[in-house]
Each structure stands twice: as C-alpha cells, then as structure tokens.
Amino acid sequence: MRKKKLYFSILGVILTVFLILVGIGYYLGSRTQSRWKAVLVADNSTQAGTASKRVDRVVLERKIQKLAPKGVYIVIDSGKNILCLRKGTEILLRAIVSCGSGNILQEPGGKRTWVFDTPRGVFSITSEIKDPSWIKPDWAFIEEAKEIPTNPNDRIETGVLGDYALGFGDGYFIHGTLYTRLLGRNVTHGCIRVGDKDLKKLFVEVTIGTPIFIY
C-alpha cells in the first residue's frame, strides 16, 4: 500500500514538472509569436520610402526574369516520370518517360558502387546523336555477371537506344527504348527513356544548349 502511494507521488511530481515546463514553453512561445511582426516593423524603420522600394522590386523582378531560358527548355519530373518541353509557361510536349531506378550495384570483390538515380538539378543538352550506339560502361557487365572486355569494340551495342539520343553530361542521355511497356516506371540506370514519337519531336525542337531541369 505504502509502495503504491510512493509510486503515485513520484508520478504526480513528474507530471507536475512536465506540465509546468509545458506551461513555461507556452508562455515563452506566446512571447516569440508576437516578435514575428515586430521584427519586420523594425526592419522597415531603417528602410527608405515606398517609392524607392517599388523601384527595387521592379528591378529585382526583371533581374530574376532575365535568368529564365529565352527559348524552349525541358522539365523532367523523375518521380512521376513525366517530361515536358516548355516555352515560357506554354507546354509544347508532355511525354511519359522512364527515369532512374534508385537501385544500388556493388562490384563483387571491388570497391566500386553505383547508385542508379537520374541526376537532379539544372543541365543543358551537350550532344545530339542520330542512330546512337550504346557504349556499355563497366556496370553493365558487372550487373550481368560478365567479364569486363578489354577490347573497346566489345562494348558497343546497337539498336537499344532508339533513333535519337540527347546527351546532357556525365554519360547521361535522353534516348529511345525497346521497353515501351515500362514507360512511366522508374527502371533505368539514370538515363531518361522516351517513346519513339515523343523522342522525334523532342529531337526536332531542341538544340545544343537547351536547358534541362530535373527534379
């Protein structure tokens, strides 16, 4: 009985301390909430008048607008596997694609590891190739548990990248595919696979230097 009482007392003390701390937190929190607007008002008191602020705003808006691409650009949503060719806010082409699988390949007995993600960020088209051949990198042989060839010609594989390929650096390409049923899924080793018709339209519209935004 005494033990029970002791336990309840300890529990009561802990709970009271906890609630007091929460109460103090609420008090301090309510004080900081009111500082949100106070900070801005203080900032403003040191600033110049409204007219000059408006001028600043227009100048900054123009500066930001100038950073945007002038012509067409590509936007790729690697999660939804959608590629859009845009000009300004207008969408010229919307294609279902395949992006990186996110899988990991470890070289057996070696030190090399590959993560098959489509890279994210801002890129630009660096090469345009008709009837491309795939020069298989080391990971392609390791994945198939085959020996890495010493003769460079043994790495060449034709007919797997479709009719066109658009390079955007570090060995990544926007290219065609034999596996059209997998468009819309994350299955690639980092490249972006596009269906034949969409790829042809893309190839016609873009040039070297066309910006690519991938997220």
Partner 1 sequence: MRTKWIFIIFLLLLSGGLSRSADTETQVSQSLQAEFSLAVSTDLYIVFDIPGQKIDLKAKGIILRTWKIEKIRLWGDPIPLNPASLLKKSALFPPQREDIKPGETDQETTFELETLELSDMPSSYTLRLEQNISMYIGPQSTGWTSFLRNIGYSLRWHFYPPLKTVWTKVKKQSFTVFEVTLENKEESQAFYWALGENSPFLILPF
Among 56, 131, 157, 196, binds partner 1 (CB under 8 A): 56
Binding segment (CB under 8 A) for partner 1, from list 3-11, 24-32, 126-134, 164-172:
24-32
Distance of closest approach, residue 82 Cβ to partner 1, in angstroms: 10
Alpha carbon dihedral 7, 9, 11, 12, in 10-degree steps, equals: 160
Q: Are 89 and 110 in contact (CB under 8 A)?
A: no
C-beta atoms surrounding 162 within 10 Å: 22
Map residue 110 onto helix, strand or coil: coil
Site string for partner 1, 126-165 (x = CB under 8 A): ----------------xxxx--------------------
Binding segment (CB under 8 A) for partner 1, from list 1-9, 47-55, 130-138, 152-160:
47-55
Among 57, 87, 94, 197, binds partner 1 (CB under 8 A): 57
Among 1, 2, 5, 41, binds partner 1 (CB under 8 A): 41
Exposed (0-12), middle (13-18) or buried (19+): which is 164, by Cβ within 10 Å? Answer: buried
Distance of closest approach, residue 188 Cβ to partner 1, in angstroms: 9
Distance of closest approach, residue 30 Cβ to partner 1, in angstroms: 10
Distance of closest approach, residue 182 Cβ to partner 1, in angstroms: 6
Distance of closest approach, residue 68 Cβ to partner 1, in angstroms: 5
- Exposure string of 3-42, with b = 16+ CB inside 10 Å and e = fewer, is eeeeeeeeeeeeeeeeeeeeeeeeeeeeeeeeeeeeeeee
Which residues are within 8 A (CB) of 123 and not within 5 positions of it... i.e. 6 or more apart?
A: 168, 169, 172, 211, 212, 213, 214
CA pair distance 45, 145, nearest whole angstrom: 69
C-beta atoms surrounding 205 within 10 Å: 15
Q: Whose Cβ is closer to partner 1: residue 101's or residue 126's?
A: 101
Among 161, 186, 198, 206, binds partner 1 (CB under 8 A): 186
Chain residues that interact with partner 1, rule: CB under 8 A: 21-26, 28-29, 32-33, 35-41, 43-44, 47, 49-50, 53-54, 56-57, 60-61, 63-65, 67-69, 73, 75, 77-80, 101-106, 108, 115, 120-122, 142-145, 179, 181-182, 185-187, 211, 213, 215
